[in-house]
Amino acid sequence: MKNFTIILILTGVSLSVSLLATQPNFIVIFTDDQGYGDLSSFGGKHVDTPRIDRMAAEGAKLTSFYVAAPVCTPSRAALMTGSYAQRIDMGLGSRFGVLLSADSKGLNPDEITIAEVLKGAGYRTGIFGKWHLGDQPPFLPTRQGFDEFFGIPYSHDIHPYHPKQDHFQFPALPLLDQESVIEMDPDADFLTQRVTERAVRFIEDNRDKPFFLYLPQPIPHRPLHVSPPYLQEVKTEITDKLKDEKESVDYKTRDLLFKQAITEIDTSVGIILDTLKTQGIDENTFVIFTSDNGPAVGSAGPLRGRKGSTYEGGMREATVVRWPGKIPAGTTNAELMTAMDLLPTFAKLAGAQIPSDRVIDGKDIWPVLAHKQKSPHKAFFYHRGETLLAVRSGNWKLHTKDGTATELYNLETDISESNNVISRHPQIAKRLMGLMTDFSKDISENNRPAAFVDYPVPLKR
Ligand SMILES: [Ca+2]
């Protein structure tokens, strides 16, 4: 009996060791306001992205990958929770379409984020960049499963130089390390570089354990900024003008830095991928590159609509995934996938528990990424704020206005949503309208509240 017990214990130990040895690392690089056309490998002629393009050549381009909202806060809420923002009361900020400084509202601490799911399976978790799910202490990423946080609590334009400062009166932008404000009004020229440096250190520190690295780059959200080396190719008259004005109040001059801003992000991606190689964990790390919503400055490529829109350009993102030996190299995958799918997919690959006490809208897309199955999504829903405006099912997409079906497109033949065929296909429009009705009912019956604090105050040093 004693021997039997020992064998059982030894078997248990070897099982858990082998499980740990196969737990992959996950890296999510999530840029801000980068469009579907803002990568060379997605047809962008106005940008130069050799490292991300090489990542695509070594992995896969996802051409129908969606974020769940066309603006920052709801898109990030959905990414973190695997749930539509409207299911978790995060479709809008309390005073604006996104959360602002000293906002009483935040992602509910009761929500279970990707970081919490993976932490429960033994992962180290880090976020370096922009959070935007609440700036008050109970809402910070360190309270939502992240072991490490370095970055800004919301967009870097929520600062005293905002063009509509008379209206908003934003306080100085805080830069946080964990929950401490370490600088006020940090020089935004160095944001991309600084969050990249911290991400590299995090990878090096955790090379021997499974980790989840979330790198929400604050750029290319306006106002655009790059570090000094990237200014070299910019015309002298522009750099001179930038020197005169701290933020170029109307942002238009800074918009001229777009190509350079994308180049610096591309370099950052290269640094991350090189670090995985030098640390010997390249083969065991799943990396995804995408953005939180469509372009404000850049290009949506062939897609109609931009940031804020429920046309494809607002929510379909140029996305690249790489996992050597696991994701077939040099492939293009056009199956419908979403940012909400990352939570259940990572949980499955990590052997972690997916929350079972609540509705999670995301699906495990690993079989889709491995080219073994079609999209698990019967439909994908497009919202602006709290309002459901469109649905995609298969290649058909229906738009509504004031609850009435108005436009129908076949995305396979009309990716630009330019040829409205609603009058020719009333039955398809009716079926898609039914999906929207069912989904609205589901959301109204299965939703969870955001959280609020009573006396929000601006973060200070
Ligand atoms: Ca954004």
The single residue of 46, 132, 159, 371 carrying the catalytic annotation is 132
Is pLDDT larger for residue 243 or for residue 279? 279
Query: How far apart, in Å, are the Cα atoms of 83 and each of 27, 32, 167, 338?
Result: 20, 20, 33, 10
Task: Break the chain into its structural domains and give their ranges.
Answer: 22-374, 383-445
Compute the distance from residue 424 Cα to the ligand 1 centre, in Å: 36
Whole-number pLDDT of residue 377: 98
Strand 180-184 relative to strand 174-177: parallel, antiparallel, unpaired? antiparallel
pLDDT at 19 over 90: no
Structure tokens at 228: 């000094």
Structure tokens at 194: 């600084």
Does 72 participate in catalysis according to the annotation? Answer: yes
Task: Tell me which residue of 442, 336, 345, 426 sits closest to 379, measured CA to CA.
Answer: 336
pLDDT at 14 over 50: no
Nearest-Å Rg of the Cα atoms of the chain is: 22
How remote is the C-alpha of 304 from its chain's centroid? Answer: 20
Rounded distance, CA 346 to CA 78, Å?
Answer: 15
Rounded distance, CA 429 to CA 423, Å?
Answer: 9
Q: What is the CATH number of domain 22-374?
A: 3.40.720.10
Does 132 participate in catalysis according to the annotation? Answer: yes
Each residue of 92-134: pLDDT tens digit?
999 999 999 999 999 999 999 999 999 999 999 999 999 999 9
Rounded distance, CA 167 to CA 354, Å?
Answer: 43
Compute the distance from residue 1 Cα to the ligand 1 centre, in Å: 62
pLDDT at 35 over 90: yes
Each residue of 72-92: pLDDT tens digit?
999 999 999 999 999 999 999
Rounded distance, CA 74 to CA 293, Å?
Answer: 10
Compute the distance from residue 11 Cα to the ligand 1 centre, in Å: 48
Rounded distance, CA 78 to CA 73, Å?
Answer: 9
383-445 matches 22-374 in CATH topology: no
Each residue of 445-455: pLDDT tens digit?
999 999 999 99
Compute the distance from residue 195 Cα to the ligand 1 centre, in Å: 17
Compute the distance from residue 93 Cα to the ligand 1 centre, in Å: 14
- Report residues near ion ligand 1: CB below 5 Å: 32-33, 72, 292-293
Tell me the average pLDDT of the chain: 94
Compute the distance from residue 396 Cα to the ligand 1 centre, in Å: 26
Rounded distance, CA 141 to CA 102, Å?
Answer: 16
Rounded distance, CA 275 to CA 426, Å?
Answer: 54
Domain 383-445 CATH (choose: 1.20.140.10, 3.40.50.450, 3.40.50.720, 3.30.1120.10) = 3.30.1120.10
Rounded distance, CA 305 to CA 70, Å?
Answer: 10
pLDDT band of 21, cuts 50, 70, 90: low
In sequence order, the 6+-apart residues with CB closer than 8 A to the CB of 360 are: 81, 82, 83, 340, 343, 344, 354
Each residue of 298-323: pLDDT tens digit?
999 999 999 999 999 999 999 999 99
Whole-number pLDDT of residue 15: 44
Rounded distance, CA 178 to CA 176, Å?
Answer: 6
Rounded distance, CA 83 to CA 393, Å?
Answer: 18
Task: State yes or no: cis peptide before 344, omega within 30 of 0.
Answer: no
Compute the distance from residue 103 Cα to the ligand 1 centre, in Å: 18
Q: Cβ(294)–Cβ(315) under 8 Å? A: yes
Whole-number pLDDT of residue 93: 97
Q: Cβ(202)–Cβ(209) under 8 Å? A: no
Compute the distance from residue 278 Cα to the ligand 1 centre, in Å: 32
Each residue of 309-358: pLDDT tens digit?
999 999 999 999 999 999 999 999 999 999 999 999 999 999 999 999 99
Reduce the secondary structure of 261-294 to three states and give it as a string: HHHHHHHHHHHHHHHHHHCCCHHHEEEEEEECCC
Compute the distance from residue 179 Cα to the ligand 1 centre, in Å: 23
CA triple 21-26-29, angle to 5 deg: 160
Compute the distance from residue 16 Cα to the ligand 1 centre, in Å: 40
Task: Tell me which residue of 42, 127, 52, 41 sits closest to 316, measured CA to CA.
Answer: 42
pLDDT band of 17, cuts 50, 70, 90: very low
Structure tokens at 455: 């006396």
Each residue of 40-64: pLDDT tens digit?
999 999 999 999 999 999 999 999 9
Compute the distance from residue 262 Cα to the ligand 1 centre, in Å: 15
pLDDT band of 179, cuts 50, 70, 90: very high
Each residue of 258-285: pLDDT tens digit?
999 999 999 999 999 999 999 999 999 9
Task: Tell me which residue of 69, 88, 83 sits closest to 361, measured CA to CA.
Answer: 83
Whole-number pLDDT of residue 296: 98
pTM (two decimals): 0.95
Each residue of 381-440: pLDDT tens digit?
999 999 999 999 999 999 999 999 999 999 999 999 999 999 999 999 999 999 999 999
Q: Is 226 left (phi over 0), alpha (psi -120 to 50) or beta?
A: beta
The single residue of 46, 72, 377, 399 carrying the catalytic annotation is 72
Whole-number pLDDT of residue 18: 42
Compute the distance from residue 293 Cα to the ligand 1 centre, in Å: 5
Rounded distance, CA 126 to CA 129, Å?
Answer: 10
Q: Cβ(170)–Cβ(149) under 8 Å? A: no
Whole-number pLDDT of residue 166: 86
Compute the distance from residue 431 Cα to the ligand 1 centre, in Å: 32
Query: What is the three-class DSSP state of 23?
Result: coil
Compute the distance from residue 292 Cα to the ligand 1 centre, in Å: 5
Compute the distance from residue 355 Cα to the ligand 1 centre, in Å: 27
